[in-house]
Amino acid sequence: MFLLQTLTSVFALTALFGSVAQASSFEAATEQVKAQLVASVDAVHPGDEILVGVHQQIIPHWHTYWRNPGDSGLATTIDYQLPDGATAGEIQWPTPSRITLGPIVNYGYENEVTLLNKIKVPRESAAGGVFTINAKVKWLVCEELCIPQKVELTLDLPVVLAGVDAGQGSPLIEQARASLPAVSPWPISLAYNKELLSFQIADVKLQSATIKNVWFYPAEWGKVNHGAEQSWQLSGDKLELQLKPGEAPLTKDETLTGVLAVTEEGTNGLVTRGYIVKVSGVEVATGISVIKAGEPNVVLTTALLLAFLGGIILNLMPCVFPVLSIKALSLIKHAQHDPRQTRLQGLAYTLGILVSFGLLGGVLIAVKATGAEIGWGFQFQSPLFVLAVAYLMFAVGLSLSGVFSIGGSIAGVGSSLAERPGYSGSFFTGVLATIVATPCTAPFMGAALGFALTQPPASLLAVFFFLGLGLALPYLLLSQWPYLQRFLPKPGIWMDKLKQGLAFPMYGAAVWLVWVLAQQAGVNAVAVALGGMVVIAFAAWVYEFTKYGSNVAQRSGAVVTVLALGVALAGGYIGVDTHAAPLKTELAENYEPYSAERLFELRSQGKPVFLNMTAAWCISCLVNEKVALSQPSVIETFKRGGINYLKGDWTNRDPEITKLLAEFGRSGVPLYVFYPAGAGNSSNRVVLPQLLTPEIVTQAVTTPTVAASLP
């Protein structure tokens, strides 16, 4: 059920059409959030100061954001329109909670929250009149999908004479006041350096047996690493809390503000109380001792689950589905064989995937050890690797078309192995599935892989193995559970026709990879690749033509085949200039190349920016650009809104883009981020999902922003 709900939130994008609710009453609702405008009184006196709140009721599994959203998201904003002379104070934010998705940690609210503002009533207000409060409320509500929404609310309060009872108002106001953080009753000191922030909290009247968790929510983005572990310990009446600095760490004499949340076991369950912290730290070079965590770290468990789900979805990606289909045909063909043999084939296929992911993880660990910036699909940034995979896809297509077939003594590769009952065939089909899966990024994978690449080798390999298990799961279930095989169609001549038809996706993949090669190594690389494919086709023809002849003919054919393949591989190695300038294409009118300097310049000027991190070998990226980002409606929306569209090309290795991906907890592309107008800090941003439609993009960028007024 969890998987079904999550997939629905990713793919069922029609929810976007209900993202704006217009209302002229005290309440309004979207599909995810019901909002009410409430007050602390039923009537007002001239000169009163009252509390007004926007109460949000949020459906299960969705959330809105705190003043500092954390790693992604956008804070709720309220624009009050009041009678002349009336004023509204800043939002009073209740203590938030953590909302995690893999290594991504956000700060916000689930279920319900009331955001309070103080409003001053003018002394000139006439008794017998009406004090009208209008509020334009904007928020971002997220599950897997993030939807910007807005409502307009109105509350009319009668103006009465000073001696008349103003009433009790809404009970939601008192509930909201109780959830606000209190001023810290304890003296707090802070020591920090580049590696650690250490709070020392004295005279704490707390019992270690009842404390379940302590967490600090920084009011400003970048001061603290949101996703890092916060370790705490209570010794007598002294509480120590340690955090890791963020991307904009404290500077000398700077004050750190935020909310310290302490969760205790009470008589009626867990109770969380927030305390306002405002402290100037002392910078120290050394001397901060590291303490152990006060709670178990569950981030790895979440990352493993996300990797597993991402691996399952990979089977539906266009790069993997044809290979899985080939293996399914093999299962249909041999469904009547010994069930034990079928089960062992499923295990061999799974082993091939796990070994391949293990090798890929090992390479990543080795490359990381050199200090290089890496990410998912990094091997496709090598022109020689792209050429080799193009040759492999072309050879698989030739085999499926019947140009050649591999004898049992050689065991073969690709699809020839896939259609054989041998265990080697299943193993190498798993290898092939892994190879063709790496240009794809499925939902859930981004957070899991981004986490894995920041972890020690054991955690990285664990995430990769769970990703492999998800990729292997469909065929593994079919092979291990004979009952499921009853739903497979009966064997017949249609299987050979379908097998031949599956050759064309392989040819298409080869053509696409040659195009990627051109982007990386220039137009001359295309001639080298196509020439190599001609030689491979000749080698396949010679092999098939001679393998049934005399011993002399077989040996001669084998020699010619090996020489031809050697020529193709050597020609590619020598002929592809890995340092050549990539193929130049004209820039579309609505975007310019990404650079960190350009992004900083635009954000400093308060201009809205849309980031698209892509690569020519990323199929998901190309589909999103075709169906969403290049659509006239989106281009016109960008022009009309003055949105600067920056595109980062990760086709070839680019450490600057790799660093940006890491900032968002991503290990690969695609990544889509919108920075609203206003020279705010970089927490004022919206991270879009990895699967786009024109509606998702236009809704994200057309919601009016008031970044400059964020507290």
Element at 23 (helix H, strand E): none
Per-residue model confidence (pLDDT) at position 114: 97
- 557 within domain boundaries: no
Per the model's pLDDT, the better-predicted residue between 363 and 60 turns out to be 60
Name the domain count of the chain: 4
CA–CA separation, 473 and 357 (whole Å)? 14
Query: Are 599 and 676 in the same domain?
Result: yes
Query: Are 478 and 342 in the same domain?
Result: yes
Query: Are 148 and 198 in the same domain?
Result: no
Q: How sure is the predictor about 539, in pLDDT bands with cuts at 50, 70 and 90?
A: confident
What are 538-546's contacts with CB under 8 Å, separation 24+?
A: 538/564, 539/564, 539/565, 539/568, 540/395, 540/398, 540/399, 540/403, 540/404, 541/403, 541/404, 543/404, 544/403, 544/404, 544/405
Give mean pLDDT, residues 172-187.
91
Give mean pLDDT, residues 570-580.
68
Per-residue model confidence (pLDDT) at position 444: 66
Q: How sure is the predictor about 90, in pLDDT bands with cuts at 50, 70 and 90?
A: very high
Query: Are 75 and 213 in the same domain?
Result: no
Query: Are 164 and 127 in the same domain?
Result: yes
Query: Are 256 and 175 in the same domain?
Result: no
Residue 640 sits in a domain whose CATH number is: 3.40.30.10
Query: Are 191 and 168 in the same domain?
Result: no
- 56 within domain boundaries: yes
Per-residue model confidence (pLDDT) at position 52: 97
CA–CA separation, 19 and 367 (whole Å)? 44
- 403 within domain boundaries: no
Residue 607 has pLDDT above 90, yes or no: no
**Model confidence over 377-436: pLDDT tens digits?**
556 677 887 888 788 778 878 877 888 765 433 333 444 444 444 677 778 777 877 776
Q: In what order do the strands lie in the sheet with 49-58?
A: 27-29, 33-39, 49-58, 112-120, 87-88
Q: Which of 83-97, 102-116, 233-247, 497-511 has the lowest mean pLDDT?
A: 497-511
Residue 651 has pLDDT above 70, yes or no: yes
pTM of the model: 0.47
Maximum CA pair distance of the chain?
116
Percent of the chain residues past pLDDT 90, beyond the cut? 22
The boundaries of the domain holding residue 318 are 299-381+410-502
Element at 352 (helix H, strand E): helix 339-369
Q: How sure is the predictor about 54, in pLDDT bands with cuts at 50, 70 and 90?
A: very high
Q: Which of 179, 202, 227 is the last residue of a domain?
A: 179
Q: Which of 228, 259, 283 is the last residue of a domain?
A: 283
Per the model's pLDDT, the better-predicted residue between 583 and 599 turns out to be 599
Residue 212 sits in a domain whose CATH number is: 2.60.40
Per-residue model confidence (pLDDT) at position 419: 44
Most confident of 127-131, 450-454, 493-497: 127-131
Per-residue model confidence (pLDDT) at position 706: 32
Phi-psi region of 701 (alpha: psi -120 to 50; beta: other; left: phi over 0): alpha
Residue 140 sits in a domain whose CATH number is: 2.60.40.1250
Question: For the chain, what is the mean pLDDT?
Answer: 78
**Model confidence over 135-168: pLDDT tens digits?**
999 998 888 777 888 999 999 999 999 889 899 8
Query: Are 303 and 428 in the same domain?
Result: yes
CA–CA separation, 183 and 274 (whole Å)? 9
CA 556 from centroid of its chain's CA atoms: 54
Per-residue model confidence (pLDDT) at position 143: 82
Q: In what order do the strands lie in the sheet with 238-243?
A: 231-235, 238-243, 197-201, 188-192, 282-283
What are 402-408's contacts with CB under 8 Å, separation 24+?
A: 402/500, 403/537, 403/540, 403/541, 403/544, 404/540, 404/541, 404/543, 404/544, 405/544, 407/547
- 391 within domain boundaries: no
Per-residue model confidence (pLDDT) at position 392: 79
- 94 within domain boundaries: yes
Q: Which of 466, 487, 502 is the last residue of a domain?
A: 502
Q: How sure is the predictor about 587, in pLDDT bands with cuts at 50, 70 and 90?
A: very low
Give mean pLDDT, residues 270-287.
82
Kindly report the three-state secondary structure assignment for every residue of 548-598: CCCHHHHHHHHHHHHHHHHHHHHHHHHHCCCCCCCCCCCCCCCCEECCHHH
Query: Are 249 and 167 in the same domain?
Result: no
Give mean pLDDT, residues 317-344.
66
Per the model's pLDDT, the better-predicted residue between 15 and 329 turns out to be 329
Element at 66 (helix H, strand E): strand 63-70
Element at 177 (helix H, strand E): helix 171-178
Per-residue model confidence (pLDDT) at position 337: 60
- 552 within domain boundaries: no
Angle at the Cα of 49 from the Cα atoms of 43 and 55, rounded to 5 degrees: 70
Per the model's pLDDT, the better-predicted residue between 688 and 685 turns out to be 688
Angle at the Cα of 568 from the Cα atoms of 565 and 574, rounded to 5 degrees: 135
Per-residue model confidence (pLDDT) at position 416: 45
Residues in the chain: 711
Per-residue model confidence (pLDDT) at position 326: 65
Query: Are 84 and 145 in the same domain?
Result: yes
- 350 within domain boundaries: yes
Is residue 200 within 8 A of residue 288, CB to CB? The reply is no
CA–CA separation, 510 and 531 (whole Å)? 13
Per the model's pLDDT, the better-predicted residue between 536 and 325 turns out to be 536
- 537 within domain boundaries: no
Per-residue model confidence (pLDDT) at position 92: 96
Query: Are 599 and 681 in the same domain?
Result: yes
Residue 369 has pLDDT above 70, yes or no: no
Query: Are 168 and 195 in the same domain?
Result: no
